[in-house]
C-alpha cells in the first residue's frame, strides 16, 4: 500500500471553484488498486502546538489530497488524465518548461509518494462521496 499526498495551491478567490472541480470533475471511479481518497484543508487553531507544519501562505489556499492506493502504478493509471500537460524546450543550453495549470491553481500542485511503514487505530468512517 502506498499513500500519495497532493499539495494543491489554490488562488484565494477560487476555493469554491476548486472544491467543485475536485468533487465533480476528478472522479476516479472504482479503478484497480484504489482504496481511499480524502481532500483536506488546514484550519487555524489558536494554540500553536496544532500548527507547526508550514504548508500555508497568505498568497494561496492550501489543500492536501491524501490518496491510498495499492501501488504508484495503480495511481498513475487512474489519475494520469488529470495530470497537467508539460512541454520542454531547450535554447542556448537552457531548458524552458511550460506546465498547463487549471484556472484556480496559484502554482503547480506538488506530489509525494509515501510508503506505509506501520499503522494503528480503527476503521475509517465511510466516505461521503460516491466513487
Q: What is the pLDDT of residues 80-94, one digit of tens each?
A: 888 888 889 898 999
Write the CATH number for 9.
3.30.70.100
How does residue 44 score in pLDDT terms, banded at 50, 70 and 90? confident
Reference 60, options 114, 110, 12; nearest CA is 12
Q: Per residue in 59-74, pLDDT tens?
A: 899 999 999 999 999 9
Please check whether residue 122 lies inside any domain of the structure. Answer: no
When divided into structural domains, the chain yields a total of 1
Is residue 123 scored above 70 in pLDDT? yes
- In this prediction, residue 45 carries a pLDDT of 67
Domain that holds residue 77: 2-45+56-88+95-115
Q: Is the pLDDT of residue 34 over 80?
A: yes
Please report the pLDDT score of residue 131 as a whole number. Answer: 62
Find the Cα–Cα–Cα–Cα dihedral 43, 45, 48, 49, rounded to 10°.
Answer: -80
Amino acid at each position: 500500500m502506498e499513500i500519495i499526498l497532493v499539495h494543491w495551491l489554490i488562488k484565494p478567490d477560487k476555493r469554491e471553484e476548486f472544491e467543485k472541480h475536485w468533487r465533480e470533475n476528478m472522479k476516479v471511479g472504482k479503478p484497480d488498486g484504489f482504496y481511499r481518497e480524502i481532500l483536506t484543508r488546514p484550519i487555524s487553531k489558536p494554540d500553536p502546538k496544532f500548527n507547526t507544519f508550514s504548508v500555508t501562505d497568505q498568497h494561496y489556499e492550501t489543500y492536501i489530497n491524501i490518496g491510498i492506493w495499492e501501488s504508484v502504478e495503480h495511481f498513475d493509471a487512474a489519475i494520469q488524465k488529470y495530470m497537467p500537460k508539460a512541454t520542454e524546450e531547450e535554447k542556448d543550453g537552457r531548458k524552458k518548461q511550460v506546465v498547463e495549470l487549471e484556472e484556480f491553481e496559484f502554482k503547480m500542485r506538488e506530489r509525494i509518494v509515501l510508503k506505509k511503514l506501520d499503522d494503528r487505530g480503527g476503521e475509517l468512517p465511510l466516505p461521503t462521496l460516491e466513487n
